[in-house]
Structure 1
Amino acid sequence: MTQHKVPVTVLSGYLGSGKTTVLNHVLNNRNGLRVAVIVNDMSEVNIDAALIRSETSLSRTEERLVELSNGCICCTLRDDLLIEVQRLVHEEKYDYILIESTGISEPIPVAQTFSYADPESGIDLTQLTRLDCLVTVVDAARFWEDFASGETLLERGEVSSTEDTRDVVDLLIDQIETCDVLILNKCDLVDKEGLGELEAMLRKLQPSAKIIRTVNGKVDPAEILNTGRFDLIRTSESPGWLQELRSGEHTPETEEYGISSFVYRRRLPFHPQRLAQFMSQWPEDVVRAKGIAWVAAGEDMAASLSQAGPSIQFGPAGWWAASRPEAEQRELLANEPEIKRRWDPKWGDRMSELVMIGIHMNRENIESDLDRCLLLPEELEQNWSEFPNPLPWISVQP
């Protein structure tokens, strides 16, 4: 086993964003760095690998191009990725490994592959590699069109399995909220005002990433190679909505473009029918929302709400600590400072916390509309399980 950990950069980005163009540019300007390239493509024939091979002069003795086709390295081809990376490191020929993931790949599962030992294969990439940087490429010209499309990946024919029901916008958000460097590509196709607004929104969604504007994927290789930017804990806590929830970590508003955010916090539960009505008429000025909702339902569970553009995901997020037996409650309060800090004498940890991020949001109207969804005093005394509940919900017994 080599003592030198080979650094790794992972390129993510939705289909057509320009990942392969960025990769080709970096490979043609790598200043003698010996790079092994792994290209992942969902098709049986790896088109991206063919493009890289035709446009880049990789030395047969010093560089290698590995193709992982007909699957995604964040799921079906994960074992193949482990094996290939281990093999490349053991060859002791490469200074760097550069991975271009498929356009429908989510960064976190790929990052976890490099952060934990795999119990099934016994391969521990933490001893062989150092994940250096997660890079996401965004198509500046198509972003808002894809964001507002309301289409699923399946409807676009961009998945190999009918079990993949993800919306396009949810994938875009995953890739943006989980990166160390964000390359805003094709900037020449957007006017100055539109580009400024888009960058301001991306900065709001992911305030921790370095944003680089590019044309034709021309980025300085030093911006994405040997950066030392990746940290799994920091990356998992970097999305703007999560930072907004933390006291004292409010990200500043971008007044020039009307981009702002706020947290809606209430200690009363939502009436399920009225909340469902609100979600069916979601305010268009809210671009991204995420958080926990307390719903007056038969199950004493927290609900998770995640919205991005026209896509809204809603469902159970686990039992409230206050719903557990007293002995378990005492243990949680003793060991979980955050639960203790939020504890209410009457309601315990039950509350709603929703982060809203948007453009020209009318906060007063949004909060008033949500407040009208809360239970009235007389409804608090009623049997909550009898309320009409059109919300997607899973009935689980404790």
Structure 2
Amino acid sequence: MKKIPVIILAGFLGSGKTTTLNHILRSSNGKKIGVIVNDFGEVNIDSLLVSRQTDNTMELSGGCICCQMNDGGLDEILATFSHPNSKIDAIVIEASGIAEPIDLRKLILYSSNKSISMNGVVYIVDAKNIIDNLKNHPKINNHIAAADIIVLNKIDLVDKNDLASIKSTINKINPNSIIIQTKEGRLNPGLLFDIDLNTSKPEQLSLAVGTEHSKHDHLHDNFDSISFSSKKPLSPKKFNHFIETLPSNVYRLKGIIYYGMKGFEQKIIIHKVGSHISQSAEEWQNDETPMSNLVAIGVDIKKQDILNKLKGCIDKEPENISPEDMVDIMRLRGL
């Protein structure tokens, strides 16, 4: 009986999971990969960014994937990808930035679906921010310890001495894992699909605390998310001010921005992690409705305050473009 390998792609907020996944999909050499994308916000931004690479994308939104399993959501999606006539070669689960890799591994190992096999946990680490992340969110230690492969991403943003220290820290947390260094998530897909961990047994999960999800103190228990959508274009000047004055407890901002001004109809894809902002411009596809979709994630967020500020970014006169507006756009794009 054909068994479809399932790979769990995890990592803390802003580590580069979606970028890595998109690279895997572009470099899969004809393999048909089913993708399950879980995002913490009500608007699944990651799914929007991944769906451009494959038609085989399904999503679980509005919370952590390991907290939705009583509803049978994951099993239902896995069954869709792994039926007897399926042409899928592998399944990748991109977990939210605050999901528990241990729980996800257990869900696959204990699944009643006989057509799938657990093929490993790949954990993405943001080299630039990992030391601060470990200090501020100690449970990331458990996440790293649960990984079979650790992808040390964004190595181009740290110097050699710091990189050596980071690798040493990771090795102390998980001495048995492979560490792969990458820039911009450029991971060789063959490293994932060649992992064979089918001999893993549920009783080997010694890192699991207890046997029931409800007994776990989860990292995501402290996090909140805000989702914002608007078909009305945003003002570059107002949005730039919003970014510059964003509270420090908003750890992550990601999504798509629509300005809608003459001469600049492109969509802007934004990723903000701490003080670092990465943005790029793309053309809208024929089947896409131009609109902004943003998700902010942080601790003790004043949701309504931030939502009101985002609503205040809506441009009432988007066609009135000025050189000053263009300066703000170029700065936001990182050009």
Residue of 155, 168, 178 corresponding to 1:200: 168
Report Cα offsets for 1:33-60 as digits up to 9, x if no partner.
Answer: 0111000011111000111123x2x2x4
Q: RMSD in angstroms over aligned alpha carbons? A: 2.2
Residue of 152, 158, 170 corresponding to 1:190: 158
Matches of 2:69 and 2:203, distance apart in 1: 26
Matches of 2:27 and 2:161, distance apart in 1: 31
Shift of 1:75: 1.6
Question: Which consecutive unaligned segments of at least 5 residues does structure 1 have?
Answer: 118-123, 150-167, 243-398
Matches of 2:166 and 2:182, distance apart in 1: 14
Matches of 1:100 and 1:68, distance apart in 2: 10
Q: Output aligned runs, 1:127-276, within 5 Å.
A: 127-149=114-136, 168-170=137-139, 172-229=140-197, 231-232=200-201, 236-237=205-206
Q: State the match for 2:215 in structure 1.
A: none
Q: Output aligned runs, 1:38-77, within 5 Å.
A: 38-54=36-52, 56=53, 58=54, 60=55, 64-77=56-69
Preserved contact between residue 111 and residue 232 of structure 1 (Cα < 8 Å): no
Residue of 89, 110, 119 corresponding to 2:104: 110
Matches of 1:234 and 1:208, distance apart in 2: 18
Structure 1 runs of 4+ off > 3 angstroms?
Answer: 232-235
Q: Which has the larger radius of gyration?
A: 1
Higher relative contact order (CA 8 A, sep 6+): 2
Provide the secondary structure at the position in 1 that maps to 2:65: coil
Matches of 1:232 and 1:207, distance apart in 2: 20
Q: Output aligned runs, 1:356-375, within 5 Å.
A: none
Q: State the match for 1:80 in structure 2.
A: 73
Preserved contact between residue 109 and residue 202 of structure 2 (Cα < 8 Å): no
Provide the secondary structure at the position in 2 that maps to 1:74: helix
Q: Output aligned runs, 1:306-321, within 5 Å.
A: none
Shift of 1:132: 0.6
Matches of 1:213 and 1:219, distance apart in 2: 8
Q: 1:138 to 1:177 in 2, by over 3 A?
A: same
TM-score (normalizing by structure 1): 0.49
Matches of 2:188 and 2:154, distance apart in 1: 16
Preserved contact between residue 11 and residue 100 of structure 1 (Cα < 8 Å): yes
Provide the secondary structure at the position in 1 that maps to 2:82: helix
Q: State the match for 2:214 in structure 1.
A: none
Residue of 14, 18, 28 corresponding to 1:20: 18
Q: 1:38 to 1:145 in 2, by over 3 A?
A: same
Residue of 96, 108, 128 corresponding to 2:90: 96
Provide the secondary structure at the position in 1 that maps to 2:195: coil
TM-score (normalizing by structure 2): 0.58
Q: State the match for 1:252 in structure 2.
A: none
Q: 1:18 to 1:232 in 2, by over 3 A?
A: farther
Question: Which consecutive unaligned segments of at least 5 residues does structure 2 have?
Answer: 209-335
What's the % identity of the aligned pairs? 35
User: Number of matched residues?
Assistant: 207
Matches of 2:162 and 2:203, distance apart in 1: 30
Shift of 1:229: 3.4
Report Cα offsets for 1:86-141 as digits up to 9, x if no partner.
Answer: 12111512111111001110111111111124xxxxxx12x110111110000010
